[in-house]
Amino acid sequence: MLRTLLARLHQRHRTMSYPDGPPPALPGRFRGRPLIDVAKCPDDCRVCADACPTEAIAIDGGVRVDLGRCLFCTDCADACPTGAITHSPDWRLATSSRDALVVAAGEELRLANVLDERLRRLFGRSLRLRQVSAGGCNACEADLNVLSTVGWDIARFGIQVVASPRHADGILVTGCISENMTLALRKTWDAVPPPKLVIAVGACAISGGPFRTNPQQLGGVPGAGLPVDLFIAGCPPHPLTILDGMLRMLGRLQRDGRVPGLTPDTARP
C-alpha cells in the first residue's frame, strides 16, 4: 500500500489541462481534415475521386469532400499527381448536421453548434450516455474508452458512460448498424427517457464507412431512422476529436476553437 501511494506521488497529476490549457500534442502521423489546393488540380482530373474507396470525393463544377464518408486514409493523396491533397493537423471534425460534413475545397467546416438553451440547461453540467456498438470494428469504441482514462478524465465535465439506457440522457453509436444490431439499437433508443440525444461516432455510424455498399447494413445511424444531434467524423476519430465535439455541443467551447476565459495568445484554434 505504501509503495502504491509513493508511486502515485511520484507520478503526480496526470490529467491534461485541456480545455483550460493547450490541447495535448498530437503525433506526427496524425491525419486530420483533408485539404485540397484547387490551384494544383489539373482540368478534368478525377484521379483522387477514382482512388477514394468510399466515394468521399466528388468533382462536379468543383471539388467537395464528404467527411462523413472519409476514412482519412492516404489513397487520394498518394494517387494525386500534383500533390494537391494534404491532411491538416486539425482535429476539429464534429458538426451538428450531416450536410455540414460535405465541404467544398477552400470552405471552412461548420463546427458543431451548442444545444438549444433548454437542452443545454438539462445536459450542460451532467450528461449520461449509453454506448452502442452496432457493427463496429472496435476502433471507435477503443478511442471512446480512452476518454475515461486518467489522462483525459471525461467525467470531470460531467459526462459519463452508463450501463443502462434507462439511466442515460442519450446514446453514443458506433458501427455501420448491421441488420443484426438494428433491433438492439432501436430498443436501446426507446429505453432512454426523453428528452434524449444521439451522437454518431465515426464514419461507419455516419454513413456506413467502408461497408456502405453492403446490403447487410443500414448506412449508419441516419439509415436507422434515429435523429442525430452530433456527427463526429473520423475512422476512428481521435479522442480529442470526440471530446471537442461533445464540449462544443454542451457550450463548453467557443465556435472559433478558443476556450472561454483564455486570451487569444494562450488559446489554440
Name the CA dihedral angle for 96, 153, 239, 116, rounded to a multiple of 10 degrees.
Answer: 0
Q: Is 97 within a domain?
A: no
Q: What is the pLDDT of residue 17?
A: 87
Q: Is 35 within a domain?
A: no
Sign of CA dihedral 130, 135, 141, 142: positive
CB contact at 8 A, 45 and 21:
no
Number of domains within the chain: 1
Among the residue ranges 2-6, 241-245, 264-268, the one predicted with the least confidence is 264-268
Q: How far apart are CA 5 and CA 26, in angstroms?
A: 30
Q: Which residue range is the domain that position 219 belongs to?
A: 117-249
Q: Is 264 within a domain?
A: no
Query: In the predicted model, what is the mean pLDDT of residues 14-30?
Result: 87
* Closest of 230, 227, 256, 224 to residue 243, by C-alpha: 230
Q: What is the pLDDT of residue 6?
A: 81
264: which 3 cell numbers? 487569444
Give bridge partners of residue 34 from the DSSP assignment.
87
Q: Is 212 within a domain?
A: yes
Q: What is the pLDDT of residue 9?
A: 78
Query: In the predicted model, what is the mean pLDDT of residues 237-263?
Result: 75
What's the distance, CA 183 to chain centroid? 24
Q: What is the pLDDT of residue 20?
A: 85
Place of cell 500500500: 1
Give the domain CATH number at 171.
3.40.50.12280
Place of cell 464514419: 203
Does 257 score more than 80 pLDDT?
A: no
Name the H helices within 147-209.
179-191, 203-207
- With 0-12 CB in 10 A as exposed, 13-18 as middle and 19+ as buried, what is 217? buried
Give the model's confidence band at 254: pLDDT under 50 very low, under 70 low, under 90 confident, else very high. low
Does 40 score more than 80 pLDDT?
A: yes
